[in-house]
Amino acid sequence: MQTQNLSLSKIKPNPSNPRTIKGDKFEKLVNSIQEFPRMLEIRPIVINDDNVILGGNMRLEACKKAGLKEVPVLKASDLSADEQRQFIIKDNVGFGEWDWDLLANEWDNEQLEEWGLDVWQPEENEDDNFGPSADDTITITVECLTERDRENLTKELKEKGYNVK
């Protein structure tokens, strides 16, 4: 299989495409293509011998809106009809999980959101104190092995201002 450039007018959307992107997410995809068109070379639209899309229906629509005239495509000529149907679904299944701690510590939140990742954003009225407020009551039960451990823990918690029962 080899990548080639093909006019958008020759590529046919898949009428059985079970996945869509709408609204803000679609606009983010359009912006992504405008800002980083080389991504399409790395991850071309996949088509069958009839130029029907197997993978990349929403990218095609975003490319049209972005004003592109042609895009890289990969013709999957050697796939059976059953393999084509599998590809349509499996191309869109996300098996992995995001490492949210890594993203929070090593990536820019705004940039990730611009790139289309749904990231946590604080509510407008939410303050920076993520722990319980002074009005909140939390009950924690701790089992100590000895009476002496219980006494030491109770003393230490009381010194730190906790209400210990």
Please state the domain extents for the chain: 3-95+104-114
Please state, in angstroms and rounded to a whole number, the distance separating the CA atoms of residues 58 and 13: 9
Q: Is the pLDDT assigned to residue 104 strictly greater than 80? A: yes
Q: At 121, is the pLDDT very low, low, confident or very high (cuts 50, 70, 90)? A: low
CATH class for domain 3-95+104-114? alpha beta
Query: Which whole number is the average pLDDT over 4-10?
Result: 96
Mean pLDDT of 11-33: 90
* pTM exceeding the 0.95 threshold for the entire prediction: no
Tokens of 5: 């450039």
- 55 closest CA partner among 66, 63, 64, 46: 46
- Residue 100 pLDDT exceeds 60: yes
Higher per-residue confidence, 143 vs 138: 143
**At 123, is the pLDDT very low, low, confident or very high (cuts 50, 70, 90)?**
low
Q: What mean pLDDT do residues 14-37 have?
A: 90
